[in-house]
C-alpha cells in the first residue's frame, strides 16, 4: 500500500492524532492493558496503549510479558474484537408501549396507533448510537473481520440498522501486524498481516534505531486527518524497513491452515471420527464464538417493566455451542457436543462460503487461545485432511 | 400508496406492526386459527409458503406460516398456531379485538403456478396442513389449470386432524382426492391407521407431470419424498418446507442454518433434491 502519500510519523504524532480526534468529538478506542490482558477501551492519550508489552499466546493460554522496548503495538490481538464496538453484545431493538398514542419521546419512526379500546400498543424502534468512534490499532485480520460482518449484516437483502449506524461512523486507523502470536494464521487465510483495504489510515511500526511509523492513507478522511499531524515524507528506506517488519511477521507465522479444497474436505467428512474426538474435549463453553470477530449469531430477549405496559426487545449475542441455540418446539436439533462443534467448524470454514461468499474465519487465533482446553481448529482440520489423504493414498495404491 | 414490502425495506424488517385479532377459532384441542387485520389499514401481501414473525407483547416472537388464502380471506392474515410454549400460548389466548405484532412476510413461496398443467399432490403431516392451505386454495381457484389434485393428510389422532369441514368441501366441490390417516385411531375412527406414507402406493397420478408439495415433520417429509420418488416423481418436483427456530426472519441472526442454507432467506420452501441430502445428516 506504500505510495507517494506515505509519510513518516514520530511517536508524538500519534498523540496529536488522538487529541485531534477527541477535539472533534470522537471517542478514540484502542488497545489498553486491563487485568493482564490487552483489551479495547476508550483512551484519552496514547500513553494508555500497552506500550512495551508483548503477549505470549498458545492454545488455551495467554500471558503478557515486557518486551524491553517502547513498542506501541508489540502484541497481537486479545480477547476483545472490534465486533464489541460495531456489533455490541447487547443492543436495543425497540420498545413498545401498551395503549400509547404515537410516542413523542424519541426521534425514531413509530409504527402502530393509539387505540381507544385499550388493546393496542405502539412500537418505537431504538435509535442507533450516534457517537462517532475512531478505532486505533486495528489489525489486518480485524479489518477483514469487519468486511465479513459487512457482508452478513449490510450486504444481504436486509440490513442490521444498529450495525449500519455504528459502522458508518467508525474511523479506522489500522496497524500492519509485526507481532503475530503462535495462534495467528492470517497468512493462511489471506487476511494479513498487511492491511490491503478497508482502513482510513494504515500505520506500520518501525522499531530500528529510531522509533517511527510509516503512515499510508486509505481514504480522503484519513488524508485530511494526516494533514493535521507533524510528519515527513517517507524515504525508500522507511518503506523498506516497514515492508521488512511485515514480511518477518509473515514468515514467522508460516502457513498453518491449508485452505486448499477446505470447503469440500469438511463437508465431505461430516461423520469423521475426529469429530467424536474433539467432542470429548470440547466443553461447549461458547468462548470461541464470543471471542470470534466474525461470529454474528444472536438471540432476542423480550422483557417488560413492572407495570407490564412497556416492553423492550434486545438483540443479544448467541452461540451455536449452547443447547438452546437449536431448540425448536419439537426438541433440539444439535444435542451432542459433536454436532455443535461440527456446526461451528463447518460454518466458519465451509458453509459460510455458501451462505455469504467468503470464509467466516480471518485467522486471528482467538478461538484457539481462549479455548479453555486449547482446541486448535488448525489441528482438527489437519487431522481430517491427513486421514483423507492417507485414504486417497490407500485407494491409489490398491488400484 | 407504498406497498408493504417497500415499507418493510424502508423501516427495517425488525419492527413489528400491530395487528388486531379479528377472529379466533379453536381448530383442535391445542391449536387456534387467528385472523389478523393491520391496525394501520395496510394489509400484508403474503404468498403461499411464506411466514411472518408473530409477536406477543412483552413475551416474544415466533415464526408462523401463512395459513390463509381461502375465499374471503383477502387483505387479512390467517395464521394457525399450536400452543407449544409461552409465546404461542399468549398468541392463542389473544381475544378478538386484542393486538399482536407482525413482521414480514418473509421467505419464498410454494411454486404453485409452475405445477400448472399436471397433477398435484399435497402431503401434510400434523400441523403441516396450514402451510399448504394457501397453495391448495391457489390451485382450487384455478382448478381447470391442473390435472388430478390429491391431498394426503396424516395426524396423530382423529382429534388432531384440522379443517375437516373444509377438506370435505375440497373433495365434493373441487374433486380433490383426499386420503386421511391417523397414527392411532380410536372409537369412531373407521379410516386408515398408520403413517401418511401408507397412502402413497394407492394413489393415482401421472408421475411424469406431477408436482408434490409436502409439509410436516422432517422425518415424515423424507419418507414421503422417497416414496413419491419410488412412484416415479422426480425429486426436483417434490417441494418441502423446512422449519427451524428463527429470531429475525431476515438472515441476520444465524439461527435457522441448515448446513449451507439459511431457511428464512433461501426457504422455507425447497426442492427436495436440494435439501434431501442435508436432512439425512443426523443433527446437522
A277-296 tens-digit pLDDT: 999 999 999 999 999 999 99
User: Closest Cα to residue A180, out of A237, A247, A135, A80?
Assistant: A247
Q: Is the ipTM of this structure higher than 0.90?
A: yes
State the Cα–Cα distance between residues A199 and A177, nearest whole angstrom: 14
Residue B239, domain member (yes or no): yes
Residues of A in contact with B260 (CB under 8 A): 267, 350-351, 354-355
* CB-based contact A111 B11, cutoff 8 Å: yes
**Is A1 a residue whose pLDDT tops 60?**
no
Question: What confidence score (pLDDT) does residue A107 get?
Answer: 38
Question: What confidence score (pLDDT) does residue B87 get?
Answer: 96
Domain boundary among B106, B132, B167: B106
* CB-based contact A161 B12, cutoff 8 Å: yes
- Which of the two residues, A330 and B264, has the higher pLDDT score? B264
Are B122 and B263 part of one and the same domain?
yes
Question: What confidence score (pLDDT) does residue A329 get?
Answer: 83
Q: What is the pLDDT of residues B130-171, one digit of tens each?
A: 999 999 999 999 999 999 999 999 999 999 999 999 999 999
Are B80 and B182 part of one and the same domain?
no
Q: What is the pLDDT of residues A230-271, one digit of tens each?
A: 999 999 999 999 999 999 999 999 999 999 999 999 999 999
**B:193-222 residues touching chain A, CB 8 A cutoff:** 217
Q: Which residues, 6 or more positions from A227, have their beta carbon under 8 angstroms from its beta carbon? A: none
Are B61 and B180 part of one and the same domain?
no
**B:73-102 residues touching chain A, CB 8 A cutoff:** 82, 84-85, 88, 97-99, 101
Is residue B130 within 8 A of residue B64, CB to CB? The reply is no
CB atoms within 10 A of CB B235: 15
Are B49 and B122 part of one and the same domain?
no
The 3-state secondary structure of chain A reads CCCCCCEEECHHHHHHHHHHHHHCCCEEEEEEEECCEEEEEECCCHHHCCCCEEEEEECCEEEEEECCCCCCCCCCCCCCCCHHHHCCCEEEEEEEEECCCCCCCCCCCCEECCCCCCCCEEEEECCCCCCCEEEEEEEHHHHHHHHHHHHHHCCCCCCCHHHHHHHHCEEEEEECCCCCCCCCCHHHHCCCCCCCCCCCEEEEEECCCCCEEEEEECCHHHHHHHCCCCCEECCHHHHHHHHHHHHHHHHHHCCCCCCCCHHHHHHCCCCCHHHHHHHHHCCCCCHHHHHCCCCCCEEEEEEECCCCCEEEEEEEECCCCCCHHHEECCEECCCCHHHHHHHHHHHHHHHHHHHHCCCCCCCCCHHHHCCCCCCCHHHHHHHHHHHHHHHHHHHHHHC
* CB-based contact B16 A123, cutoff 8 Å: yes
Q: What is the pLDDT of residues A63-77, one digit of tens each?
A: 999 999 999 999 999
Are B144 and B222 part of one and the same domain?
yes
Mutate one of A91, A100, A121 to test the B interface: name it (highest B CB count within 10 A): A121
Q: How many residues does chain B have?
A: 284
Residues of B in contact with A123 (CB under 8 A): 15-18, 101
Are B102 and B138 part of one and the same domain?
no
Question: What confidence score (pLDDT) does residue A396 get?
Answer: 54
pLDDT-derived band at A315, boundaries 50, 70, 90: very high
Q: What is the pLDDT of residues A203-237, one digit of tens each?
A: 999 998 899 999 999 999 999 999 999 999 999 99
- Which of the two residues, A399 and A270, has the higher pLDDT score? A270
Q: What is the CATH number of the domain that holds B67?
A: 2.40.30.10
Q: What is the pLDDT of residues A9-40, one digit of tens each?
A: 999 999 999 999 999 999 999 999 999 999 99
Mean pLDDT of chain B: 94
CA distance A155 to chain B (A): 11
Question: What confidence score (pLDDT) does residue B93 get?
Answer: 97
Residue B284, domain member (yes or no): no
Question: What confidence score (pLDDT) does residue A131 get?
Answer: 85
Question: What confidence score (pLDDT) does residue A149 get?
Answer: 98
pLDDT-derived band at B8, boundaries 50, 70, 90: low
Is residue A342 within 8 A of residue A122, CB to CB? The reply is no
CB distance from A108 to chain B under 8 Å? no
Are B95 and B148 part of one and the same domain?
no
- Selecting from A111, A296, A329 the residue whose C-beta is nearest the C-beta of B254 gives A296
Q: What are phi and psi of B235, to 5 degrees?
A: -70, -15
CA distance A383 to chain B (A): 21
Residue B219, domain member (yes or no): yes
**Is A102 a residue whose pLDDT tops 70?**
no
Q: What is the pLDDT of residues A343-391, one digit of tens each?
A: 999 999 999 999 999 999 999 999 999 999 999 999 999 999 999 888 8
Are B206 and B237 part of one and the same domain?
yes
Number of domains in chain B: 2
- Selecting from A94, A303, A311 the residue whose C-beta is nearest the C-beta of B15 gives A94
Q: What is the pLDDT of residues B15-44, one digit of tens each?
A: 999 999 999 999 999 999 999 999 998 888
Is residue A102 within 8 A of residue A124, CB to CB? The reply is no
Residue B12, domain member (yes or no): yes
Residues of A in contact with B108 (CB under 8 A): none
Complete DSSP assignment for B90-139: HHHTPPTT-EEEEEEEES----TGGGTTS-EEEEEEGGGHHHHHHHHHHH
Mean pLDDT of chain A: 92
State the Cα–Cα distance between residues B50 and B242, nearest whole angstrom: 11
pLDDT-derived band at A95, boundaries 50, 70, 90: very high
Q: What is the CATH number of the domain that holds B182?
A: 3.40.50.80
Mutate one of A120, A128, A266 to test the B interface: name it (highest B CB count within 10 A): A120
With the C-alpha atoms ordered B217, B219, B222, B227, is the resulting torsion angle positive or negative?
Answer: negative
Are B273 and B134 part of one and the same domain?
yes
Are B127 and B246 part of one and the same domain?
yes
Residues of A in contact with B16 (CB under 8 A): 94, 96, 111, 123
Domain boundary among B52, B84, B106: B106
Question: What confidence score (pLDDT) does residue B161 get?
Answer: 96
Mutate one of B94, B102, B252 to test the A interface: name it (highest A CB count within 10 A): B252
What does the pLDDT average to over B107-134? 97
Domain boundary among B106, B141, B161: B106
**Is A202 a residue whose pLDDT tops 70?**
yes
**A:125-144 residues touching chain B, CB 8 A cutoff:** 125
C-alpha cell belonging to residue B232: 416415479
Question: What confidence score (pLDDT) does residue A101 get?
Answer: 44
- Selecting from A117, A298, A350 the residue whose C-beta is nearest the C-beta of B253 gives A298
Are B184 and B136 part of one and the same domain?
yes
Question: What confidence score (pLDDT) does residue B5 get?
Answer: 55
C-alpha cell belonging to residue B266: 433461501
Kindly state the DSSP code that residue B178 receives in the 8-state scheme. Answer: E
Kindly state the DSSP code that residue B159 receives in the 8-state scheme. Answer: G
State the Cα–Cα distance between residues B58 and B90, nearest whole angstrom: 10
Residue B102, domain member (yes or no): yes
Pairing of strands A27-34, A37-42: antiparallel
Residues of B in contact with A320 (CB under 8 A): 254
Are B168 and B275 part of one and the same domain?
yes
* CB-based contact B252 A152, cutoff 8 Å: yes
What does the pLDDT average to over B204-223? 96
Is residue A293 within 8 A of residue A145, CB to CB? The reply is yes
Find the domain containing B11 and state its range. 4-106
State the Cα–Cα distance between residues A33 and B253, nearest whole angstrom: 32
Is residue A49 within 8 A of residue A15, CB to CB? The reply is no
Q: What percent of chain A has pLDDT over 90?
A: 86
CB distance from B14 to chain A under 8 Å? yes
Residue B172, domain member (yes or no): yes
Amino acid at each position: 500500500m506504500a505510495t507517494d502519500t506515505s509519510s513518516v510519523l514520530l511517536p508524538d504524532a500519534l498523540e496529536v492524532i488522538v487529541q485531534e480526534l477527541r477535539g472533534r468529538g470522537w471517542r478514540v478506542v484502542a488497545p489498553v492493558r486491563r487485568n493482564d490482558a490487552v483489551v479495547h477501551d476508550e483512551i484519552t492519550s496514547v500513553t494508555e496503549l500497552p506500550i512495551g508489552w508483548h503477549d505470549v499466546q498458545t492454545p488455551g493460554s495467554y500471558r503478557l510479558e515486557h518486551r524491553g522496548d517502547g513498542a506501541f503495538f508489540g502484541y497481537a490481538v486479545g480477547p476483545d474484537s472490534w465486533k464489541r464496538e460495531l456489533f455490541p453484545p447487547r443492543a436495543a431493538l425497540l420498545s413498545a408501549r401498551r395503549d400509547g398514542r404515537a410516542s413523542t419521546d424519541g426521534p425514531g419512526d413509530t409504527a402502530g396507533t393509539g387505540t381507544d379500546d385499550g388493546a393496542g400498543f405502539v412500537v418505537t424502534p431504538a435509535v442507533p448510537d450516534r457517537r462517532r468512534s475512531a478505532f486505533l490499532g486495528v489489525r489486518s485480520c480485524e479489518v477483514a473481520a469487519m468486511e465479513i460482518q459487512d457482508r452478513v449484516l449490510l450486504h444481504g437483502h436486509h440490513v442490521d440498522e444498529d450495525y449500519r449506524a455504528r459502522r458508518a461512523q467508525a474511523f479506522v486507523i489500522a496497524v500492519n501486524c509485526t507481532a503475530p502470536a503462535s495462534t495467528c494464521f492470517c497468512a493462511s487465510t489471506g487476511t494479513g498481516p498487511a492491511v490491503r483495504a478497508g482502513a482510513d489510515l494504515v500505520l506500520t511500526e518501525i522499531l530500528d534505531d529510531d522509533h517511527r511509523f510509516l503512515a499510508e492513507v486509505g481514504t480522503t478522511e484519513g488524508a485530511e486527518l494526516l494533514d493535521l499531524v507533524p510528519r515527513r515524507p517517507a524515504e525508500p528506506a522507511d518503506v523498506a524497513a516497514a515492508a521488512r517488519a511485515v514480511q518477518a511477521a509473515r514468515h514467522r507465522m508460516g502457513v498453518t491452515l491449508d485452505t486448499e479444497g477446505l470447503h469440500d474436505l469438511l463437508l465431505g467428512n461430516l461423520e469423521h471420527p475426529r469429530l467424536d474426538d474433539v467432542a470429548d474435549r470440547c466443553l461447549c463453553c461458547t468462548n470461541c464464538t464470543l471471542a470470534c470477530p466474525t461470529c454474528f449469531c444472536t438471540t432476542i430477549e423480550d422483557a417488560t417493566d413492572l407495570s407490564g405496559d412497556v416492553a423492550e426487545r434486545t438483540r443479544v449475542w448467541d452461540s451455536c455451542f449452547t443447547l438452546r441455540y437449536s431448540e425448536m418446539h419439537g426438541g433440539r436439533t444439535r444435542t451432542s457436543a459433536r454436532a455443535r462443534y461440527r456446526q461451528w467448524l463447518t460454518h466458519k470454514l465451509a458453509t459460510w462460503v455458501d451462505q455469504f461468499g467468503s470464509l467466516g474465519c480471518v485467522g486471528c487465533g482467538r478461538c484457539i487461545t481462549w479455548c479453555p482446553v486449547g482446541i486448535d481448529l488448525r489441528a482438527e482440520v489437519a487431522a481430517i485432511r491427513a486421514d483423507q489423504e492417507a485414504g486417497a493414498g490407500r485407494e491409489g495404491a490398491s488400484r | 400508496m407504498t406497498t408493504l414490502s417497500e415499507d418493510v425495506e424502508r423501516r427495517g424488517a425488525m419492527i413489528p406492526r400491530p395487528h388486531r385479532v379479528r377472529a379466533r377459532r379453536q381448530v383442535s384441542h391445542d391449536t387456534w386459527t387467528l385472523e389478523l387485520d393491520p391496525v394501520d389499514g395496510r394489509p400484508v401481501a403474503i404468498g403461499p409458503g411464506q411466514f411472518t414473525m408473530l409477536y406477543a407483547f412483552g413475551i416474544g416472537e415466533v415464526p408462523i406460516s401463512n395459513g390463509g388464502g381461502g375465499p374471503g380471506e383477502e387483505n387479512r392474515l390467517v395464521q394457525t398456531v399450536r400452543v407449544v410454549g409461552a409465546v404461542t400460548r399468549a398468541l392463542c389466548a389473544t381475544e378478538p379485538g386484542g393486538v399482536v405484532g407482525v413482521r414480514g412476510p418473509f421467505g419464498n413461496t410454494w411454486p404453485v403456478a409452475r405445477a400448472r398443467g399436471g397433477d398435484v399432490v399435497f402431503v401434510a403431516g400434523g400441523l403441516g396442513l396450514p402451510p399448504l392451505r394457501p397453495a391448495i386454495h391457489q390451485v382450487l381457484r384455478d382448478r381447470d389449470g391442473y390435472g388430478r389434485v390429491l391431498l394426503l393428510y396424516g395426524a396423530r389422532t382423529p382429534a388432531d386432524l384440522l379443517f375437516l369441514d373444509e377438506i370435505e368441501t375440497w373433495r365434493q366441490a373441487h374433486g380433490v382426492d383426499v386420503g386421511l390417516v391417523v397414527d392411532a385411531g380410536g372409537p369412531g375412527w373407521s379410516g386408515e391407521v398408520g403413517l401418511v406414507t401408507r397412502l402413497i402406493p394407492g394413489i393415482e397420478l401421472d408421475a411424469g407431470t406431477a408436482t408434490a408439495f409436502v409439509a410436516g415433520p422432517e422425518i415424515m417429509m423424507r419418507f414421503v419424498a422417497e416414496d413419491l420418488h419410488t412412484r416415479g416423481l422426480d425429486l426436483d418436483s417434490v417441494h418441502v418446507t423446512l422449519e427451524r427456530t428463527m429470531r429475525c426472519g431476515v438472515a441476520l441472526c444465524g439461527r435457522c442454518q441448515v448446513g449451507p442454507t439459511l431457511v428464512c432467506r433461501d426457504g422455507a420452501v425447497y426442492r427436495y433434491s436440494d435439501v434431501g441430502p442435508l436432512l439425512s445428516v443426523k443433527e446437522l
